[in-house]
Amino acid sequence: MTAVTPRPAVHQVLATLGYGDAIGHEVLGIQRVLRSAGYESDIFVETADRRLEPTTRDYRELVDASHPDNLLLHHFSIGSKASRTAYALPDRMALIYHNITPPEYFVGVHRTLARQCFRGRRELRAYLDRCEVALGDSEFNRLDLEHLGFPRTAVLPVVPDFSHLDGPSNPFVARQFDDEWTNILFVGRVIANKKIEDVIRIFHAYHTRINPRSRLLIVGVFSLFERYLAALNHLVETLELQHVHFTGHVSDEELVAYYQVADLFLCASEHEGFCVPLVEAFYMDVPVLAYAATAVPATMDGGGVLFDDKDPVYVATLIDLVLSDRRVEAAILERQAAALDRLQARDFRGTLLRAVESVLSAQRLGHGHVAFDFWEQFDAAEALEALRLDRPSLGKALPTRDAPTPGAPSTRSRLSRS
């Protein structure tokens, strides 16, 4: 009797699994698709929100689950122990890239994160020869991977799951804000690249020049970014605004309520890999005004209104145009509904399974054994490169790029194998 060869497992690896965020929704969606297609598929993490811990496994268990025929879907963020463990295993690997925010946004507000983003983007290059394919969750992210030098790239489209918005709304939020006032809404993490200070300045122009019966609702977690939040509160005080509300993290029921009471969604973010709240607003029939930067125009896909000039008075005038003319608002909502239909028609399941099957059926890359001190050498090379950049005179005494220094960028391929 012929023995049946077991089907390879397709596992996911990432640093942390968050509750209610875009990456978390995508990871869980990928697992559902893979398991429904008959693949064994677990999620290996360093940390997870306590509400999601039962759905995950500790990344250190990945060593026991490893097999050369398996495929690891590695969600790369800013580098992690989980990433480095996965890198060293013999399993095949496909990278899923959600983009890394440029570190300059965090200088002065979160130096540790600025350093992590800088190093994460450099560490990403170590995976150029490690991955069978690198998948961006938007065309903007795919182009970033291509620019970084990944030879095989594709798009695994984000098709958000809106089920968390189909439940009941929180009655307290509704009672507090569902009145005759105009509610301008922003949803997203309170983090520097979102440029919430620009949202506040635009609201100030709208509130003081056009509609004093208006308020700004900023819905999103701000933990770890207290310094940035303090700067935003100082700006609010300086502008003598009385109706700006920072909600912090909210439940699904509260989020539904905030979308329901919103008259307009305003986004001034300068760096997005996709920006799920934009299409959440589409889904909840809230007209959207958004700054045309990075992936935002592609995510909007003809819906909402894009602006490329952040002059507060100009954008405040756009807000008034949308909210004061029912025909304009109706036309915007109609375009948003059409864009949402196009998004939901994307074949996420088919694209994912085709990518998985393509990797598993192809001749594998020549990924050999990783030297035990590979990451030590990599970190040493990064430290030397930092010296070259920060102290040029000292850098003249260091080995040149062409010298066979362990861990130097020019020896990346050699270091990936022992």
245 vs 269: CA distance, rounded Å:
18
Average pLDDT over residues 202-219: 98
293 vs 121: CA distance, rounded Å:
20
* pLDDT at residue 279, as a whole number: 97
Q: Is 151 exposed, middle or buried (0-12, 13-18, 19+ CB in 10 A)?
A: exposed
All domains in the chain, ordered by first residue: 10-159+350-367 (3.40.50.2000), 167-344 (3.40.50.2000)
DSSP code per residue over 130-190:
T-SEEEESSHHHHHHHHHHT-SSEEE-------GGGSSPPPHHHHHHH-SSSEEEEEES--
* pLDDT at residue 410, as a whole number: 42
pLDDT digits (tens, 9 = 90+) for 254-273: 999 999 999 999 999 999 99
pLDDT digits (tens, 9 = 90+) for 369-379: 565 455 555 56
343 vs 352: CA distance, rounded Å:
15
More confident residue, 411 or 343: 343
Confidence of residue 109 (pLDDT cuts 50, 70, 90): confident
Task: Please determine, for residue 56, whether its predicted confidence score (pLDDT) is greater than 50.
Answer: yes
360 vs 349: CA distance, rounded Å:
17
* pLDDT at residue 70, as a whole number: 96
Average pLDDT over residues 292-302: 96
97 vs 273: CA distance, rounded Å:
9
- Hunting for tokens 């893979």 — which residue is that? 34
Confidence of residue 107 (pLDDT cuts 50, 70, 90): confident
Could you tell me the two tokens for 210?
């056009």
What is the sign of the dihedral through the CA atoms of 100, 104, 106 and 110?
Answer: positive
DSSP code per residue over 290-310:
EE--TTHHHHHTT-SEEES--
Average pLDDT over residues 347-366: 90
293 vs 185: CA distance, rounded Å:
19
Task: Please determine, for residue 112, whether its predicted confidence score (pLDDT) is greater than 90.
Answer: no
Confidence of residue 408 (pLDDT cuts 50, 70, 90): very low
